Structure 1
Amino acid sequence: MDLNEDKFKEEVTSFVSSLQRLLPKKKEIIVVQPRRYKNTKLCDVHAEAKSTFPKCFVGARLIVLREILDKVKLVQQYSYGKSRESYKCFSQLIHKEMEPKSTDEGLLIDSSGSATATYKEVLEGAYEMRLTSRIRDLVSSETEIVFEKENDKSVGSVSCSVRDVDPNTLRMVTQWMYKILPEVSLGTEIGLKPLAYPPAPEFSISARYERPTFTITSTASKVGIQVCLFKQFSPDLRVATIITEGCRGGQTNVSLAMHKNYQNGSELKIFVDSQRCGGFTFQRDILFYEPHNEVRVLRLIGSTLIDKQRRVRFGVGFNLDF
């Protein structure tokens, strides 16, 4: 059998191109960045400070987000070891805090067998209705409906959720944020389970002071008091501090974090706190260029965590978005 050098090179080039097409296209990969609103929502009152902290994990994980149809997406997540966050740098005192606020309308299917369907509609009077239904398995589900309205100086929402089709889990949450001055905003949240006995409403109040380069926010509830300070030193460097104190005899915890972006697209997040814990995450995008000026990216994430027992543990992750 005769081997033709040109034909051999052509076959190798074709094989390499096929492998490159399996890599994801360049775009933001399952990383939710804080959005800037004209009026800040109450659930985003601490967004700048808390997004500066890393989400440390232990073990290995692979996350693949694949778009099947126009409004249907499939999420595949494979984990080895404790891939979830082993230590939380701060507590969350507000309903739906630090959750994605820009959920697209459509169907999201997880490889574990759960599905999330979202439906949006703009009603009369500038109201936005958002219906979300999550089905985890045959007996576990959650349904939530949210009505939201934004005015010139305020943003308000009313949500109602039920878990596992059980009326006793019915919960209603009202959030409202008002801008008193261009730099000062006040917000309140009231949560209530109407069918619970005795009914015990949950109440919290938040304040926000923002400037172009720094933000000071605070929240007080029956669970605790939290103060967040955020400072933007440069476009690629920011620092945040979170002070949390429990109202039921809990000790005060002070956490400090730094977020650094590099010119090559790498990103570093570091945190330490008063409980002698610390850690960091480092992520890097590897770009692959194709002949038709199309760029694909593979995002690598490395994590290190030092817990209260002074154990050093590591994690590595890969994010793909097709």
Structure 2
Amino acid sequence: MDYLANAREVLQCELKGIEALIEALGSNSSAVVAEAFPRAIKLMQNVEGRIIVSGMGKSGHIGAKIAATLASTGAPASFVHPGEASHGDLGMISQKDVVLALSNSGETKELADMIAYTRRFKIPLIAITSGQNSSLGKAADCLLLLPPATEACGATRAPTTSTTMTLALGDALAVTLLTEKGFGETDFKVYHPGGKLGAAFRRVSDLVKDHDVLPLVESGSVAAKAVPTISEGGFGCVGIVDEAGELIGMITDGDLRRHFGKDFSAHTVDEIMTASPLTITNDMLAARALELLSSNRITALFVVDGTKPVGILHVHDCLSDGVM
């Protein structure tokens, strides 16, 4: 067997399903899903409670992922197993919720009690299914009808293309909701404090606290004063401030090495400093600050409020916190 050819065949089959879904959602499409998608967004956007996602088997696994994606992007959502729902978990669904039910055939018997529950208590029901005339399709207030597509496993018709299409449609719902709500980087960070995603959205203020004592010397001071200040500060640099406390320059240990041999007692810090140094602010993304450190081949940057230094970000602060 040509394993790679078989893999490509599977992916091509699933790709055709996605392409059919894209075509069905076209702006000029008369497909059922194109008409229903905006209504589904409005139902989910205006829900007072939570978006309850449910499905059985493979659809259940896809549903759990959709619920997790919705929740992580600012749309309160939970997954409720339809089998458990019939044994008490229907109580987890309130009249302020909206239910998103997944079933490729639309005839999943385990969903029957949940469907009946939504009809009894007038809870909005959104369905993702290929069965327009199925029990689920007919009961739904909003039918997101999947276009016809061939399962990638033709021999068994195991859920493959259909689950890929369902997952993609769920992502489309989540991202559209995110965009409509104006959910941005700051909001995203609240739901993703850990891992690489959390690190990517950290701000400089998350890594650097205001320092009581910064390595600073006054403009006009003899250069020799910068040496112990750099050593004691531990950041490999010293900031030069004017009478108003505004940062006007910076000296690094590299600057001192480049001026090695000079009589530092005979020169001022102004003569060897880098004037108008590169600075950052507390609200800058830490990843952007790290990029500035890397591209300029420096190890530390002063954090300023206006033009006054309030802290220092060292490259180790970024790396130790997982910012890449």
- The alignment's TM-score, normalised by the length of structure 1, stands at 0.23
Higher percent of residues as helix: 2
Task: Specify the structure having the higher radius of gyration (Cα).
Answer: 2
Hey, which of these two has a bigger chunk of strand by percent? 1
Higher RCO structure (Cα 8 Å, ≥6 apart): 1
